Amino acid sequence: MSAKIIDGKAFAATVREKVKSHVTRIKEEDGITPGLAVVLVGEDPASQVYVRSKGKQTVEVGMKSVEHKLDAETSEADLLALIDQLNNDASIHGILVQLPLPKHLNEDLVINSIDPAKDVDGFHISNVGLLGTGQRSMVPCTPLGCLMMLRDYHGSLSGLNAVVIGRSNIVGKPMAQLLLGDSCTVTIAHSRTKDLPEVVRRADIVVAAVGRPEMVPGDWIREGATVIDVGINRIEKEDGKTKLVGDVDFESVSKVAGAITPVPGGVGPMTIACLLANTLTACCRANGLMEPE
Ligand code: NDP
């Protein structure tokens, strides 16, 4: 069996197109331009790449993009003052603080100082609680992108067995909440899980969010299962060059799975598309406009 490739890159392009046409309409009809502010503290190279890409795509869909690049030594008080200023800026509808932050800054404190209505990453404790209780919230972008691809492929997810490998606050836990919200039977696996291969073999849906290159082999996968690979790992090849791989061994898993997201070109592009969609949603809510679907 050869798995269907779930093309996250193409799906993300359709999401961005929808966002763009909605943005065009509210600009014309309501005179409102959604605005996203991204705050980067320090010079982490991967974070710089993400921030640049986010800014570029924000502009491409017609939104206002503001980038605040702060020195690695920035004090917590200065960062909180900037967030306060953005919270009170009516032209900014989404605020994203790029993680990880330098060690001297308290990440929880910083994230929880963002106005929950502008928290387009969905990491504020209020949004976490709202998601957990099935109420309207801002949903974290990476798991939201995974859910969209799963819904698109399966239609209904009701009753399916889902195994999420990884229990981080930014991917694993919200992913599990979203799958539960769609009536999956959800198992969250992590580094202490006993007999992980057996647990994964029960799954109709596997979401791997571990951060370990190609950890999940084909013989852990039930025939026909859908595999969503969140992992982004840079590894060195034999010729000394590097390449990106996921948490799933694509070669062996794609022979058994029914469908699989590739790395790159799967979950990654969907994450930024969902950030744009969340910013648009935040803007519509702030202005009492009809939300995008
Ligand atoms: P974290 O390091 O925060 O969490 C990793 C999780 O994997 C932890 O819960 C950990 O368990 C679990 N784990 C580690 N080793 C094992 C193991 N041997 N068996 C089972 N579980 C294990 O990572 P993130 O959730 O932030 O990210 C996960 C991956 O997704 C990374 O590769 C990251 O780069 C990628 N990512 C991709 C994004 C995208 O846009 N595509 C966005 C965000 C992340 P425990 O809790 O017990 O330690």
List pLDDT tens digits, range 36-65: 999 999 999 989 999 999 999 999 999 999
Q: Is residue 165 part of a domain?
A: yes
Q: State the chain's maximal CA–CA distance in angstroms.
A: 57
Report residue 226 as tokens: 């859908």
Domain boundary residue, one of 117, 133, 164: 117
- Average pLDDT of the chain to the nearest whole number: 97
- Same-domain pairing of 102 and 202: no
Asked if 174 and 122 count as a contact pair (C-beta separation under 8 A), the reply is yes
- Same-domain pairing of 257 and 148: yes
Domain with 73, as residue range(s), is 29-117
Domain holding 43: CATH number? 3.40.50.10860
Binding-site annotation, residues for NADP(+): 166-168, 232
Q: Is residue 56 part of a domain?
A: yes
Q: Any idea what DSSP says for residue 219? A: G
Strand partners, 69: 40
Q: How far apart, in whole angstroms, are the C-alpha atoms of residue 128 and residue 267?
A: 21
Task: Determine whether the shortest distance from the Cβ of 233 to ligand 1 is under 6 A.
Answer: yes
Q: How many domains would you assign to the chain? A: 2
- Same-domain pairing of 112 and 148: no
Using 50, 70 and 90 to split pLDDT, how confident is the model at 293?
Answer: confident
Q: State phi, psi for 13 to the nearest 5 degrees.
A: -65, -40
Q: Which of 120, 121, 171 is nearest to 147 (CA)?
A: 171
- Same-domain pairing of 186 and 221: yes
List pLDDT tens digits, range 64-91: 999 999 999 999 999 999 999 999 999 9
Q: Which of 228, 167, 251, 163 is nearest to 201 (CA)?
A: 163
**Residue whose entry in the numeric block shows the structure tokens 């010079």:** 43
Asked if 248 and 231 count as a contact pair (C-beta separation under 8 A), the reply is yes
Q: What is the pTM of this model?
A: 0.97
Arithmetic mean of pLDDT, 228-256 = 96
- Same-domain pairing of 251 and 217: yes
Q: Is residue 15 part of a domain?
A: no
ipTM: 0.99
List pLDDT tens digits, range 251-278: 999 999 999 999 999 999 999 999 999 9
d(CA 181, ligand 1 centre) in Å: 22
